[in-house]
Chains A and B, each alone.
Chain A
Amino acid sequence: MIVKVDGLVKRYGRLVALDYLNFEVKEGEIFGLLGPNGSGKTTAINCILSLLKYDKGTIEIFGKKMGPDKYDIKRDIGIIMQNVAVFDELTVYENIYYFCSLYINDKEKIKEYTEEAISFVSLEEYKKFYPKKLSGGLLRRLNIACGIVHKPKLIILDEPTVAVDPQSRNKILEGIKLLNEQGATVIYTSHYMEEVEQICDKIAIIDKGKVVAQGTKDELKAMISIGEKITIETYQITEEQIMIIRELPNVISVIYDNNQLEIKSGRGKNNLLQVLHYMENNKIAFGKVFTQLPTLNDVFLEITGKELRD
């Protein structure tokens, strides 16, 4: 086990930020912490890194109890914060070199690792640039390079793609996958369910400082009743007809809004066909039709009763 968080409690006065939080991260996993803003993801990360004192619980990393002075543990952790943390007065190369030198003493090794990190995030052309000259996406890549330059065994990324353009976001996500393939264990926090779904092997959904569900994305989706989401574009449907569709077998809910008929149905075959048959038989004209499997947002909605981005 690389990380084991057990019964973690953190209070800010009366506010309980972490409420007996539990999760485990196995070696080689990309572990996602998914939750809305304010759910306790960053607080959990700060506690894991010993940046924050907590009230109860234990945190073990690499099988040892974590603490502020556990430098042997810290040496193998890479951290990439939500906000870019680099020196404006240092070039791209100097920034990466500095953060590497906080972890490694051998000068030659620092130089070698710095070059490798620069090439990993494809910043070779910008080595001598100062951060102010870089675009938002390039800055994020520099931030990542500073966090992974010392080749840590555990990489913690706290919402690294906030306010990043899609192209840079994809590059960052590909990079995280590559680091994982190279042997690093990753903890990835985000409130973007698509990202977490895309890269994480295992996901813990957090709300109000608690893990409300945990597992692989398929395991999480299997926990809820919705099996399929059907969306049909139609311009002429009566309330009565909607009521009838609602009564069809396996249908959980029907919403008609903005000429879109959204039907959530349970797991089963022919969900779409039975709806289309009904519409055809009743001469209800329809346009585009598409179906979707449930998302993590549906999982979150069903478990907590609110949207992930509330």
Chain B
Amino acid sequence: MPVFRTYFKIMKKQLVGLILYGIMFIAITLLITFFIIRDNSKEFTVSRVPILLINNEGDNEFIEAFTSYLEGYVEFIDVDDSDEAGRDALFYNEVKYILTIPKGFTDGFLSGEEIMLIKEVNPDMTSVQSVDSAIDNYLNMARAYISYNPGFTLEELIDFLSMNPVSETEVIIETGKKVSLDAVEFDTYYFNYLGYIMVVCFVLGVSTVMMSFNGLEIRRKQFAAPVSSKNFNLQLILANLLFVLVYLLIFIIVGYLTNPFRRLHLGLVLTWINALVYAVVVLCISYLIGITVKGKNAIQAISTGLSLGLAFLSGMFVPQQFLGTAVLRVASFLPSYWYVRANNTIGEISNYSINNLTPVFQYMAIQIGFIAVFLAIILVVAKRKRQEAT
């Protein structure tokens, strides 16, 4: 198996880089995951959203009661009294919400007219949802009181609204009882980040070796040697698979040992299988890069660009729920998106029923679909390369 052995001799030259990336990955991953888990599990504080209130209605009892209710959820920020100043404050994130009460709002609202408050927010800000929810709660409750008690005076309505139990919610966090959940959380974060490091290391390792074997003159010399193409390719495929398996196995073991809440469960095994499927996807991408790209500097650049691009688009660094819909739509054309989605879904499962597991297997199947596509492209490119060499 000379080709197989030589593959690893060449790979040895990349070993220092691969080990360094591995150590950096483990250190950063452990640091981040511990911080995230600690943040999530120990404490809860109500965050007040800074908002700018533009009151065109003027002061009256209803507006005063409404704004004093909102103070429980928001922090009113004073800004110069102009539209432009308000928008600047919104742009620079000094306020996250501009709420405008239009003239005639109180009378209109109390008489049951469809009159709207006006809001301005920056797109994709999750924190504004709590403000929307607080405003909706108050006004819906007021609307309900008015509909069912037409004889209510304004004072009575304000009194009832101030007694409304929804204005206070007790939050209880049970610390110390979430060991199993933390174990799953750790695995999800760890394996999501692993998706990034796999791209960096596989492109760096596999592509570099494949590029060496696919140099035009080297290939011609190999075709002239008494080794069939089938045998030659088989040795390369075996070497590639062994490299990927060993690399993944090391990270699976390290991930398991460094997980402070380690517990072997079906979810973890599914995460491993998902990582294996994704590793084969990345192997195919790396193989393709190795046989198409010319120059080792280009491989370095592709390794960095591709790994960061896939990681940011697919929610390896930033959770998918915080990504915009347009980003997610683009990301759904990438295998890394389905890898992360499968990991996240596994992390959310509490009961391993067929119904709950079906989406996980679907996401893995999509990744296998990507493998098939990449293999088809590899076959076409390899055939063209062979024609070029002869």
A and B from one complex: yes
A residues apposed to B, CB below 8 Å: 46, 49-53, 68-69, 71-72, 74-75, 77, 79, 81, 83-90, 94, 98-99, 101-103, 146-147
Among B2, B9, B221, B226, point to the contact of A81 (Cβ < 8 A): B221
Contact B226 A71 (CB under 8 A): yes
Contact A69 B217 (CB under 8 A): no
Interface majority SS (helix, strand, loop, mixed), chain B = helix
Residues in B lying within 8 Å of A, measured CB to CB: 2, 5-6, 9-10, 13, 212, 215-218, 220-228, 389-390
Given A51-B389, A88-B212, A89-B212, A102 and B217 contact (CB-CB distance below 8 Å): no
Partner of A103 from B5, B10, B212, B225 at Cβ < 8 Å = B225
Q: B226 near A85 (CB under 8 angstroms)?
A: no
The 3 closest A-B pairs by CB, nearest first: A85-B217, A101-B2, A71-B226
Complex Cα spacing A85 to B222, Å: 10
Output the nearest chain B residue to A88 by Cβ-Cβ distance. Answer: B212
- Asked whether, in the complex, the Cβ of A77 is within 8 Å of the Cβ of B224, the reply is yes
B298 to chain A, nearest CB (A): 15
Residues on the B chain within 8 Å of A51, using CB: 220, 223-224, 389-390
Which residue of the partner chain A has the closest CB to B226?
A: A71
Contact B225 A81 (CB under 8 A): no
> Can you name 13 A-B pairs with beta carbons within 8 Å?
A49-B223, A51-B223, A51-B390, A52-B390, A71-B226, A79-B221, A84-B217, A86-B218, A87-B218, A89-B10, A102-B2, A102-B227, A103-B226
Interface contact B225-A46, CB-CB below 8 Å: no
Q: A89-B10, A94-B9 are in contact. List 15 more A-B contacts (CB 8 A).
A: A52-B390, A53-B390, A69-B228, A75-B226, A81-B220, A83-B217, A84-B217, A85-B217, A87-B10, A89-B9, A90-B9, A90-B10, A101-B2, A103-B225, A146-B221
Contact at A85–B218, with CB atoms within 8 Å?
Answer: yes
Residues of A near B9 (CB, < 8 A) are 89-90, 94
Please tell me if the beta carbons of B226 and A72 are within 8 angstroms of each other in the complex.
yes
Least CB distance from B286 to A in Å reads: 16
In contact, B217 and A87 (Cβ under 8 angstroms): no
Q: A69-B228, A83-B217, A102-B227 are in contact. Are A46 and B390 (CB under 8 A)?
A: yes
Establish whether residues B6 and A90, one from each chain, have CB atoms under 8 Å apart when the complex forms.
Answer: yes
Question: Within 8 Å CB of A101, what residues of B?
Answer: 2, 5
* Least CB distance, A72 to chain B, in whole angstroms: 7
| Residues A102 and B226 in contact, CB atoms below 8 Å apart | yes
Query: Contacts of A87 on B, CB cut-off 8 Å?
Result: 6, 10, 212, 218
Q: Which residue of A lies closest to B221 (CB)?
A: A85
Residue of B2, B212, B226, B228 with most partner-chain A CB within 10 A: B226
B300 to chain A, nearest CB (A): 15
Partner of A74, one of B212, B225, B389: B225
Report Cα–Cα, A101/B73, bound state, in Å: 75
What is the distance, in angstroms, from B314's C-beta to the closest C-beta of chain A? 32
Alpha-carbon separation in the docked complex, A87 to B390 (Å): 19
Q: How far apart are the CA atoms of A68 and B222 in the complex, in Å?
A: 12
Q: Which residues of chain B come closer than 8 Å to A84, judged between CB atoms?
A: 217
Q: How many whole Å from B185's CB to the nearest CB in chain A? A: 41
B223: chain A residues at CB < 8 Å are 49, 51, 68
Question: CB-CB < 8 A to A102: which residues of B?
Answer: 2, 222, 225-227
Complex Cα spacing A70 to B227, Å: 10
Nearest CB in chain B: distance from A151 CB, A? 14
Known A-B contacts A89-B13, A98-B2; A49 and B224 likewise in contact (beta carbons under 8 Å) = yes
A85 contact set on B, CB distance < 8 A:
215, 217-218, 220-221
Measured in the bound complex, the distance between the Cα atoms of B221 and A77 in whole Å is 11
